[in-house]
Copies of this chain bind each other. A is one copy, B any other.
C-alpha cells in the first residue's frame, strides 16, 4: 500500500519566537535552523522579514538548509496596490524560496480588525498569492482564526480557503489561532474544507490552549490535511504550538499513522530526537521538561513500585514504544547494570577503549554518579566527560597546574567622573616547576580570567592560539544567590572548526567558569596528541 506523505512545517523561529520569555539571538536562530535541518523537517519558517531588525539580519544570512526556507508575512492590506504594499514586498524580497502569508478568514475580524469588506479581503488573498506565485515562490496562506471563522460563517471561511487555493497557493493552512478548538470539531471542519480544497493542499496549525494541540493536528490529518505546523518542544505563543517532538514519533511509530503515512524524517534522525530536543533547550538555556512525551528524562522512567520489577522482566509490555527508537533511555531504580552499559556505549562513541570487566569502569561510574549528584551534567559536556574518563583510566598528563588565581571587579567613578566597571585577573600557573604569573583585564570576571589564563602557558602557548571560546552558559541549579552554579563553555578550534563543550560546577560562578576554562585548554592539548610531562 502506498502511504501518503505528511509534510512537517516548523515555525519554531516565527511562532516560537512569540513565546513569553523566549528571545532568540541571531546566533540562536542559526543554531536552531541547523538543528531543524538535521532533524529533516520539510519547511523551516525563519521569521517575519521587515518586522524587526533581528529577522532581517537572519534572512540576510547565507542559506544552507535542505529544508525549504520560508518567510512569514501578511497578505496585502486594503487600499494599497499589491506592488505598493511594503509588507508583501519585504516578504517576497527576503530571498526565501517559500512564503507564508497570514490572512483573515473570520468575517468578524475582517470587519473589526481590518475594517475592510469581505470581498476586498478575498481580493487581497488572491492578489497576494498571485504575486508570490508570479515571483516564483512556493506560496502558502495561513488562514487565521479559521475554525472560529468557520463556526461563525462557514461560507466565508471556505471562500478564503478556496480563493487561496484557486490563486495557486501550494498550501492552505487552517489555523486555530485562539487554540480553543476541540479535536472532534477540527476533524469535522477539516473534513468539510477537504470537499472544497484537496486535502493534499491543506495544513493544520494548532495551539495548546486546551492541552490538545497534538490531538488536533492528528485529527486534521485523519480528516485529510497533509501538512502539520508545529515547533520544537512545543514552544509558542500562550500555551504553545503543536509539539513536533511529540508528533514526529507518533506519526512514525504508531501503527495507526505509520501504516498510512510517511514523513521526511529519517529513522536516524528519529533515533536522535531526544538529543535534538535537549540541544534546543540548551540553546534556550532552560531545563528540559522531564515529563515531555517520548523525549523527557522521565518518559521511560519508573519509580520503585508495583511496576518496576515487571518492567525489568519484560519492558516491552510496559512501554508503548521503545526508548531507543527516539534516542531516550529506560530508567528504573537498581540500574547499576544499565548505568554501566550506558557508560560503555558513550565511551565507545568517544573512541575511549576500555575492557568491560576493567574495575576502573566501576570507579568511573561512581565518579559520574557522585558528580552528577553535585550538579554536573555530562550529557551536555562531552569534552569534560572524556577528560574525566581518561583521567580515571590514567591517560591524561598534567600539562600545567594553577597555583592560584585572583579576580577583581570594581565599579567606581574614573578621573573624568564617569562610572566605570573594570575587571582584572591574575593567574599563577606552574609548568615543569616553573612559575608563570599573568595579569589581564576583561569586560567581565570570566573574560579577564580567560585572558590571563591563556596569556602564558609556556611551551604550549602556540598550540592554543587557535582556541576560541564561542559560547558560555550559566545555569543556577537551585534558588537564591547562594545556589549551585553550572557553567558550560563551548570552545572551538578556529583552524579545524572542531567544537567541544566543558563544564564547571561550584557555588561560585567564577570558580565554575574557571574549571570549565581549564578543562577546555586541557582537552585541546590532549587532542593535539601531547604526552605532557
B211 touching A293 by the CB < 8 A rule? Answer: yes
A12 vs B331: C-alpha distance when bound (angstroms): 22
| Chain A 20-47 interface residues, beta-carbon cutoff 8 Å to B | 20-21, 23, 25-27
Q: Which chain B residues border A108 with CB–CB below 8 Å? A: 317
Q: Which chain B residues border A246 with CB–CB below 8 Å? A: 210-211
Given that A211-B293, A306-B74 are contacting pairs, would A475 and B285 also be in contact in the complex, using a CB cutoff of 8 Å? yes
Against B, the Cβ 8 Å flags (1 = close, 0 = not) of A276-314 are 000000000100001111101111111111110010011
Which of B477, B489, B508 is A443 in contact with, Cβ under 8 Å? B508
| Chain A 314-365 interface residues, beta-carbon cutoff 8 Å to B | 314, 317-321, 331, 333, 335-337
A20 touching B301 by the CB < 8 A rule? Answer: yes
B178 touching A508 by the CB < 8 A rule? Answer: no
A444 vs B482: C-alpha distance when bound (angstroms): 7
Which of B183, B213, B300, B509 is A444 in contact with, Cβ under 8 Å? B509
A215 touching B179 by the CB < 8 A rule? Answer: no
Judge if A476 is at the interface, Cβ distance under 8 Å: yes
B210 touching A320 by the CB < 8 A rule? Answer: yes
Using CB atoms, name the residue of chain B closest to A514: B411
The 8 closest A-B pairs by CB, nearest first: A180-B320, A215-B215, A404-B412, A474-B474, A444-B508, A20-B298, A443-B507, A211-B246
A337 touching B52 by the CB < 8 A rule? Answer: yes
Which of B102, B184, B479 is A27 in contact with, Cβ under 8 Å? B479
Partner-contacting stretch, out of A123-131, A267-275, A465-473: A465-473
Judge if A208 is at the interface, Cβ distance under 8 Å: yes
Judge if A530 is at the interface, Cβ distance under 8 Å: no
Cβ distance A70 to chain B, nearest Cβ, rounded Å: 17
Which of B109, B238, B472 is A479 in contact with, Cβ under 8 Å? B472
Which of B210, B294, B377 is A250 in contact with, Cβ under 8 Å? B210
Judge if A366 is at the interface, Cβ distance under 8 Å: no
Given that A210-B293, A421-B506, A445-B508 are contacting pairs, would A18 and B305 also be in contact in the complex, using a CB cutoff of 8 Å? yes
Q: Which chain B residues border A215 with CB–CB below 8 Å? A: 183, 211-212, 214-215
Against B, the Cβ 8 Å flags (1 = close, 0 = not) of A224-264 are 00000000001001111001001000100010100000000
Given that A178-B319, A184-B256, A407-B409 are contacting pairs, would A446 and B481 also be in contact in the complex, using a CB cutoff of 8 Å? yes
Given that A74-B306, A285-B475 are contacting pairs, would A423 and B20 also be in contact in the complex, using a CB cutoff of 8 Å? no
A446 touching B509 by the CB < 8 A rule? Answer: yes
Judge if A209 is at the interface, Cβ distance under 8 Å: yes
Which of B19, B209, B379, B511 is A409 in contact with, Cβ under 8 Å? B511
A254 touching B210 by the CB < 8 A rule? Answer: yes
Q: Which chain B residues border A113 with CB–CB below 8 Å? A: 310, 313-314
Q: Which chain B residues border A140 with CB–CB below 8 Å? A: none
A303 vs B20: C-alpha distance when bound (angstroms): 6
With a 10 A CB-CB cut-off, give which of A177, A468, A475, A490 has the most chain B CB atoms.
Answer: A475
Judge if A393 is at the interface, Cβ distance under 8 Å: no
A408 touching B406 by the CB < 8 A rule? Answer: yes
How many copies the complex holds: the figure is 2
Using CB atoms, name the residue of chain B closest to A293: B211
Q: Which chain B residues border A482 with CB–CB below 8 Å? A: 442-444, 447
B409 touching A481 by the CB < 8 A rule? Answer: no
Judge if A80 is at the interface, Cβ distance under 8 Å: no
Judge if A384 is at the interface, Cβ distance under 8 Å: no
| Chain A 185-220 interface residues, beta-carbon cutoff 8 Å to B | 185, 208-215, 218-219
Which of B184, B214, B408, B511 is A411 in contact with, Cβ under 8 Å? B511
Q: Which chain B residues border A508 with CB–CB below 8 Å? A: 409, 421, 423, 443-445
B442 touching A178 by the CB < 8 A rule? Answer: no
A479 vs B469: C-alpha distance when bound (angstroms): 8
Judge if A51 is at the interface, Cβ distance under 8 Å: yes
A380 vs B286: C-alpha distance when bound (angstroms): 14
B445 touching A112 by the CB < 8 A rule? Answer: no
Judge if A63 is at the interface, Cβ distance under 8 Å: no
A510 touching B445 by the CB < 8 A rule? Answer: yes
A421 vs B515: C-alpha distance when bound (angstroms): 12
A299 touching B410 by the CB < 8 A rule? Answer: no
B481 touching A472 by the CB < 8 A rule? Answer: yes
Judge if A394 is at the interface, Cβ distance under 8 Å: no
Q: Which chain B residues border A163 with CB–CB below 8 Å? A: none
